[in-house]
Structure 1
Amino acid sequence: MDRLLRAKYAVSVVLTMAAFSAGAQADELQARANALFKPIPAQPPALPGNQATAARVALGKALYFDRRLSKSQQISCNSCHDVGTGGADQQRTSIGHNWQRGPRNSPTTFNAAYNFVQFWDGRAKDLAEQAGGPMQNPLEMANTPDAVVATLKSIPDYLPRFKAAFPGTADPITLDNATSAIAVFEATLVTPNAPFDKYLRGDANALTHEQKEGLRTFMDKGCIACHRGVNIGGEMYAKFGLIKAPGSDIRPAADKGRFAISKSSGDEFVYKVPTLRNITLTAPYFHSGQVRDLGEAVKIMGEAQLGQKLSDTDVNNIVLFLGSLTGAQPKVDYPVLPPSGPDTPAPPYP
């Protein structure tokens, strides 16, 4: 009898130690994660010098969806950054004016307010500057600042909306005010409460065992060198092909990234590190948009950035972890836009 009791006691001690060890490992993983990542706040971030009043956000929302800001009157911000498909358009590269294709994949607008710069090459310092770029790009909306302003002024109901959004301004309908309004609307496109956010806030059961293993692999392999912080990316530039250059189909030789802006040889093939939030919703991947399978993208990054050939198990677990980064999607009702006035330009096509 004593022998049986001693055996049961020994088993109990072993199980208790195993449970303690597993709990300690879980606490250690959670502590490591909290040192590197931050959950998306429930409230949208404030933009410096751009107050997010209700009137300004509502105006920005209307402008985001208004195709009349483009020369053809067929393309809006939402055309390439669709709020129904993760803030992107699921295209390799977006279709713009006269069916031209842009040179790079459209980044998501979701959580873009947390990026330290905008566009793949960082040529816009903030969301307002970014919003004005496509309007004037001949491959995208192909308009001019004067034409955009003239169109907005020709739509009677936009004047009271701009006055409410920018009170005390003698001439409120300007391109700067339009892009500022779009920016504060875009800042509302945040995706909080992803399973990973809940895990960071202390819910150890928010991730599956496989997702936790993926998180551990993500950290241990070195992905966190670039993908960290609240947006799990978007905080720095990095060379694509740091260790091994990807194939020219994935990293086209003609697109040298930030080099086109800085003219510094050290910036060849350097790009803004993209956010990984909602990554399962925003295929295809990379600035070239050439890879649609997330597992394949993880393998490419392992070799190109880390110099490692990741095992199938590691890849699968990382992909499962990345799935935990999908947050609550913004609920955006399509706005009722103000009707055109008698002087509003007609679309240029018969």
Structure 2
Amino acid sequence: MKIAKSVVLATALISVSAFAKDALIEKAKQAGLQPIPQEVSKLFKLIDNPKNPITKAKVELGKKLYFDPRLSRSGLISCNTCHNLSTGGDDNVPVATGHKWRHNPHHLNSPTVYNAVFNQKQFWDGRSPDLEDQATGPIQADVEMNMPKDLAVKVVKSIPEYKEAFAKVYPGEEITIKTIGKAIGAFERTLVTPSRYDDYLGGDEKALTEVEKEGLKTFIEVGCASCHNGVGLGGGMAPFPAIGKYKYANIGDFKGDKNGMVKVPTLRNILETAPYFHNGATYNIKEAIEIMAETQLGKKLTKKQIDSIATFFKALTGKKPYVRLPMLPNSTPSTPKPDLN
């Protein structure tokens, strides 16, 4: 009889434990949290752009352009300079630094390119609708790559291998700054990083540790998921600051778009993408959590709550896609020369 009771009790405990775990997954989904799809077909549907369908050839061309410093006036800066795929998809410095070592005039920080495909808008002020359009901005910006669009096109057209590749992937289209952006955007759309967090939301209850699950629960209950949601755990637009004052508002002069809205940064790989905030104000993730709660939620979190959320963030570090460094085609006598001035 005692043995039977023990079996029943053990079974009940297992059932309660399973229900509790399932309940947290359901709670996360009800809060608007969504995993990166595990099925390739579903993921492809999510990241593809019908106006610029992803193909292997486009991705390969876009990868070369992404790493090609000849798209900058100095011949030294590539997209990968500020969005380094080896260091979390950003540059890990407070302010974006470009041509002639100049800093962004608004003291804006370079956001990660990993999982940027899940953003609803691109750039901190959300002025760009997609990755294809966004890719053309830094090339032309005078404090970034400082490359006039006509000069960028001239560089690409001067290199036979690039001309042949464009003719293949965009037949009948003239090489312009827009088609250059389309190719780079196609490559960037593949830079997604599924993590243990996604496995958990997908039903693998052992993918997260118990303390990480507690952190996820805290994350949801204090209100972080009100902005950091969706597949990207961010990527939409929100007022900033929303309720309280921002501790580091004196760094730079960025105020968001005309309505004071700022793009919500993704939390994926957050422990690899310091410093934090649009102006790169702090490298301390716990301070960032504390400030966000006060500024956006009007809440003073306890040390336990902050530590718990920071622990959950460990589960957001994802598996990076393998990107083999491309061998770039040679310049020709007609390729514009670097200009360091």
1:297 to 285, 288, 311: 288
**CA RMSD, aligned part only?**
1.9
1:116 corresponds to which residue?
120
1:179 corresponds to which residue?
181
1:339 corresponds to which residue?
330
Moved more, 50-59 or 276-285: 50-59
- Deviations along 1:17-48, one digit per CA (max 9) or x if unpaired, are 55443332222111112332221134441112
Gap change, CA 1:17 and 1:54, over 3 Å in 2: closer
Alignment of 1:118-157 (within 5 A): 118-157=122-161
State the TM-score, normalized to the length of structure 2: 0.92
Unaligned residue ranges in structure 2 (runs of 5+): none
Gap change, CA 1:65 and 1:16, over 3 Å in 2: same
User: Aligned partners of 2:198 and 2:250: how far apart in 1?
Assistant: 32
- Would you say the 8 A contact 2:141–2:147 is kept in 1? yes
SS of structure 1 residue aligned to 2:122: coil
User: Aligned partners of 2:5 and 2:156: how far apart in 1?
Assistant: 79
User: Aligned partners of 1:292 and 1:66: how far apart in 2?
Assistant: 29
SS of structure 2 residue aligned to 1:128: helix
- Would you say the 8 A contact 1:250–1:291 is kept in 2? no
Residue 314 of structure 1, CA deviation: 1.1
Alignment of 1:84-123 (within 5 A): 84-102=86-104, 103-123=107-127
SS of structure 2 residue aligned to 1:238: strand
Moved more, 64-73 or 238-247: 238-247
Give the letter for the 1:313 counterpart: K
- Deviations along 1:83-132, one digit per CA (max 9) or x if unpaired, are 11111111111210110011211111111111111001001111111001
Give the letter for the 1:133 counterpart: G
Gap change, CA 1:55 and 1:13, over 3 Å in 2: closer
Unaligned residue ranges in structure 1 (runs of 5+): 260-266
User: Aligned partners of 1:90 and 1:204: how far apart in 2?
Assistant: 33
Alignment of 1:156-305 (within 5 A): 156-169=160-173, 171=174, 173-192=175-194, 194-234=195-235, 236-247=236-247, 249-250=248-249, 252=251, 254-259=253-258, 267-268=259-260, 270-305=261-296
1:321 corresponds to which residue?
312
Residue 250 of structure 1, CA deviation: 4.7
Give the letter for the 2:278 counterpart: H
Percent of aligned positions with the same letter in both sequences? Answer: 44
SS of structure 1 residue aligned to 2:238: strand
SS of structure 2 residue aligned to 1:205: coil
- Would you say the 8 A contact 1:83–1:330 is kept in 2? no
Gap change, CA 1:307 and 1:9, over 3 Å in 2: farther
State the TM-score, normalized to the length of structure 1: 0.90
User: Aligned partners of 1:59 and 1:15: how far apart in 2?
Assistant: 58
2:303 corresponds to which residue?
312
Residue 150 of structure 1, CA deviation: 1.0
Does residue 77 in structure 1 map to residue 79 in structure 2?
yes
- Deviations along 1:179-235, one digit per CA (max 9) or x if unpaired, are 10000000011112x11111011111111111000011011111111111111111x
User: Aligned partners of 2:249 and 2:102: how far apart in 1?
Assistant: 20
SS of structure 2 residue aligned to 1:324: helix
Gap change, CA 1:145 and 1:161, over 3 Å in 2: same
User: Aligned partners of 2:255 and 2:151: how far apart in 1?
Assistant: 32
SS of structure 2 residue aligned to 1:321: helix
Give the letter for the 1:340 counterpart: S
* Structure (1 or 2) with the larger CA radius of gyration: 1
User: Aligned partners of 2:297 and 2:12: how far apart in 1?
Assistant: 36
2:19 corresponds to which residue?
24
Give the letter for the 1:240 counterpart: F
User: Aligned partners of 1:21 and 1:312: how far apart in 2?
Assistant: 29
SS of structure 1 residue aligned to 2:292: helix
